[in-house]
């Protein structure tokens, strides 16, 4: 069994997330062929990496007041990503193990996941607002 993560290790992970976000943003900015998504989608992923880094940093320093709001931002970004998978242009081939379901099945699954994530986003916002009223 492992114990709780050490603050220095958690901050190192936050720095890695932020660094990965910077690299992705730079690659999207210069239209690198290594980025296989539209620049807007890459920028959303970049923002998600920065939000995750901020959440980790706040957790290390004990700022819990913004957890729910940052979680809502993170979930909203993930919802956007899933909507892109479900509704974006171009082919979306997928495989589940050895099974290769039709594209419509994959897009439907991504759409359902986007719906679930959207509901979770609303829940996190409501939770943040309820906590603000209680304080």
Whole-prediction pTM value?
Answer: 0.82
Domain boundaries, the chain: 1-63, 64-135
Answer positive or negative: Cα dihedral of 103, 104, 108, 111: positive
The predicted-structure confidence for 23-69, as pLDDT tens digits, reads as follows 999 999 999 999 988 999 999 999 999 999 999 999 899 888 888 89
Average pLDDT over residues 62-79: 90
Model pLDDT for residues 80-120, shown as the tens digit of each residue: 999 998 998 888 778 888 888 898 888 999 999 999 999 99
């Amino acid at each position: 069994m492992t114990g709780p993560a050490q603050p220095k290790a958690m901050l190192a992970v936050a720095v890695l997330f932020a660094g990965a976000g910077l690299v992705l943003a730079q690659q999207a900015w210069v239209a690198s062929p290594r980025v296989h998504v539209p620049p807007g989608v890459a920028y959303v992923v970049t923002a998600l990496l920065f939000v995750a880094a901020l959440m980790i940093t706040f957790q290390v320093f004990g700022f819990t007041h913004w957890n729910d709001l940052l979680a809502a931002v993170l979930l909203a970004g993930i919802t956007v990503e899933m909507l892109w998978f479900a509704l974006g242009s171009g082919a979306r081939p997928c495989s589940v193990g050895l099974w290769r379901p039709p594209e419509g099945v994959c897009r439907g699954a991504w759409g359902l996941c986007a719906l679930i994530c959207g509901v979770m986003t609303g829940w996190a916002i409501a939770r943040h607002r309820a906590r603000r009223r209680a304080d």
